[in-house]
Chain A
Amino acid sequence: MDFKLNDEQRMLEETVGRLVRDGYPFDAREKARTSELGYSTQMWQQFAELGLLGVPFAEDFGGFNGGGPELMVVAEGFGRGLVLEPYLATVVLSGTLIDALGNDAQKESLISAIVGGELRLALAAYEPEGRYDHTHVATQAEKQGDSYVISGRKAVVLHGDSADKLVVIARTGGETRGREGLSAFVVDADASGVSRRGYETIDGLRAAEIHFDNASGELLGEEGGAADALEASLALGIVALCAEAAGAMEVACDQTLAYIKERQQFGVAIGKFQALQHRMVEMRMELEKARSMTILAACSLDAAPQVRAKRLAAAKAIIGKSGRKVAEEAIQLHGGMGMMEETAVSHYAKRIVMIDHQLGDLGYHMQMLESLLDVDEDAA
């Protein structure tokens, strides 16, 4: 048992840490957030140059061959800086799915382009009626000649507004809800039959509702056999979100602690009041839980399927529960300043709370955990 990072992981941590410290001051982030695109393409190029876009991919594609812990290190650093760029959408969710399902030619062209920073992707999986259920897929794909035509609607597609290509989950068989008959396709975002309604999310990111009307798509992997790979990519996505939340929660705690040491009322720093001290301690306790569960999730991707499922559900649920407490308390302890757009901590609070709305919320994952209560396992 060993919780230390190895040399490569530590280097990765330092690289991301430096990038976020130097390249992501609050005003620079605000400028990127309020730009038309909603993030910085320059920053994206820096990610490429530093090798961050290749973390989960094979060295053949210029990647780093990283697993859960490496992804955790990157996402935690991004969480500390509230990074806006479409890393989760492109690399973690779409890229790893292409990596798992694509043929050699597809991987050669698409993964290499991701790693080089030339291709941004979004995963169009969830649907308006399906909430957090990735097996709820009404979108249909039909084979026509060498390719497929896809029709349906996809909901709150993270960074779907600016993606060059979309990885679309559509049904080639089976009922609307179910793992059988799910297929994955690559679709050009500006292909005919694709209409996108892009918007800003409350936490400053971008997303889109996407309507497919006989849009042409290229199949990834076997027809009807995408479920396992999709779930593996979503699992990676959960690790990344947990780590991002832990990083953001750390900063929210640090900023709140600094604020209550500095803010004077009744002639003393408000951090002298025991009522506030205990709330601050509770925030820190929630942060420790979030860190612990992020590590558990990151180190469980290769565990037996049910054990993996149970640990990931528990991790995401804790993040939802602890994250909400930290976010709300961060605002509360900042008082009126916590309500302000100009105060950085309000942006951290928004991102932390919205992470609970991505890839399954507290309720969704607790139900998942309830279905796995009988799975006996030892964390160590």
Chain B
Amino acid sequence: MDINYTPEELAFRDEVRSFLDNKLPKDIASKVKNGQHLGKDDTVRWQKILNEQGWMAMHWPVEHGGTGWSPIQKHIFEEECAEYGAPTVLPFGVNMVAPVIIKFGTEEQKQTYLPKILNSDVWWCQGYSEPGAGSDLAGLKTKAVREGDHYIVNGQKTWTTLGQHADWIFCLVRTDPNAKKQEGISFLLIDMETPGITVRPLITLDGEHEVNEVFFDDVKVPVENLVGEENKGWTCAKYLLTFERTGIAGVGQSKAALKHLKTVARQVQQNGKPLIEDPLFRNRLADVEMELMALEMTNLRTVAAAQAGGVPGAESSFLKIMGTELRQEITDLFRRAAGPYAQPFLPESFEADYDGESVGPDFANTVSAKYFNMRKLSIFGGSNEIQKNIIAKMILGL
């Protein structure tokens, strides 16, 4: 039993660090660290750098351009990226639709889509949720009717993250309205340029435009865009849900955020002393610190089990709940650190080129927006309550 990295693992960490030192653009890292907006250009620029290095597709098989990394190497890479302020790789292409295409797609589909995903030439978004199908995803109603060489798609998707930038969308659609819920669903790839598609922004409570509604009105989709068999789309969806999610605990992000929080709490004064010396605040910091240590060790145990050949299944549900609650707790402490200056709302200050004057301390500009934005963590990707249902069923046998 040894909780330390082996010399080989440490050498890999050095390699990752040296890559990040040399190749991560400073302007992008600065935006990430200051909680400022990342544009589409920033994300694409970084992902192309990763691809040049051959490090874009951690989870793909080597023959398709994957890294061939072990679970521990993947963990090290994600940890270091978070520490350095590298943008999170957008999952929709490389980590969501691509594994489905690799597993269920035709040779032609692989050749058509994978290289462009690898090089971030195409921006993908996810068409799963609908107004009437959230946690109960299989209740989706968007329908695709076969007419000759095409499907005609009608319906509505929602919560489509960054769909405003997307070139393509992968969708779950109902192809057999008479089958049982899960059995009449298919997995379709749809070009966002196709006539009949309308994207409308949804503005979230922090004033952000991250998510969208996507409407389909007699959209013609070639049948060769079907992945896997017709009416077997639920198999693809389930495969994605159990697909390896090493970063789900967000340990790296929480560590970086906690470090930043401590720096802030040393600068802010309360009752003539740094806030970090306030007994109540310090107590909550200590609580986050110890919970983060417990999360990190639990995450490492899961990573090590995967390394030993175990398949991370419902364990990732534990990590999702623990990790998201902790990240939310840290955003709560940032808000408290800002004190009354948590109130001013200056969305323009979220842009990196903002040169206006802050109302309060610089760090306070984004804290409340971020706090409200991060409420999403316990809702998306299967709400934390759904995660508990999964654990109850899969692990506890209830």
Interface residues of A (CB under 8 A from B): 1-6, 9, 69, 257, 260-261, 271-272, 274, 277-278, 280-282, 284-285, 288-289, 291-293, 295-296, 298-300, 311, 314, 317-318, 366, 369-370, 373-374, 379-380
Q: Are A285 and B321 in contact (CB under 8 A)?
A: yes
Count of CB-CB pairs between chains A and B under 8 Å: 127
The list of the 10 closest CB pairs from A to B, nearest first, reads A292-B297, A277-B392, A314-B290, A289-B294, A369-B286, A281-B388, A292-B298, A299-B3, A271-B398, A370-B286
List chain A residues, Cβ under 8 A from B318: 284-285, 288
What are 7 inter-chain pairs, A to B, with CB distance below 8 A? A1-B3, A3-B300, A274-B392, A280-B392, A284-B395, A295-B3, A380-B300
Q: For A277, A280, A285, A317, which residue has the most chain B Cβ atoms within 10 angstroms? A: A285
B282: nearest residue on chain A (CB-CB)?
A370
> Distance (Å) between the CB of A368 and the closest chain B CB?
9
Alpha-carbon distance A197/B282, docked complex (angstroms)? 40
The interface size of chain B toward A, counting residues with CB under 8 Å, comes to 43
Q: For B262, B301, B388, which residue has the most chain A Cβ atoms within 10 angstroms? A: B388
Interface residues of B in 71-95 (CB under 8 A from A): 72
Alpha-carbon distance A379/B3, docked complex (angstroms)? 7
Alpha-carbon distance A260/B397, docked complex (angstroms)? 11
Checking B2, B321, B398 against A2 with a beta-carbon cut-off of 8 angstroms, the contacting residue is B2
List chain A residues, Cβ under 8 A from B282: 370, 373
User: Given that A4-B308, A314-B293 are contacting pairs, would A366 and B301 also be in contact in the complex, using a CB cutoff of 8 Å?
Assistant: no
Interface membership of B242, Cβ < 8 A = no
List chain A residues, Cβ under 8 A from B290: 293, 314, 317-318, 366, 369
Q: Are A295 and B297 in contact (CB under 8 A)?
A: yes
List chain B residues, Cβ under 8 A from A289: 291, 294-295, 298, 322
Interface membership of B57, Cβ < 8 A = no
Q: Are B391 and A284 in contact (CB under 8 A)?
A: yes
List chain A residues, Cβ under 8 A from B301: 3, 291-292, 295
Interface residues of B in 1-52 (CB under 8 A from A): 1-6, 9
A294: nearest residue on chain B (CB-CB)?
B297
Interface membership of B121, Cβ < 8 A = no
Q: Are B395 and A314 in contact (CB under 8 A)?
A: no
Q: Are A296 and B298 in contact (CB under 8 A)?
A: no
> Distance (Å) between the CB of B275 and the closest chain A CB?
12
A6: nearest residue on chain B (CB-CB)?
B1
Interface membership of B396, Cβ < 8 A = yes
List chain A residues, Cβ under 8 A from B308: 4
Q: Are A373 and B398 in contact (CB under 8 A)?
A: no
B298: nearest residue on chain A (CB-CB)?
A292
Since A5-B1, A281-B388, A370-B282 are in contact, a sample of 5 more A-B pairs with Cβ atoms closer than 8 Å, ordered by chain A residue number, is A1-B2, A6-B1, A257-B396, A274-B392, A281-B392
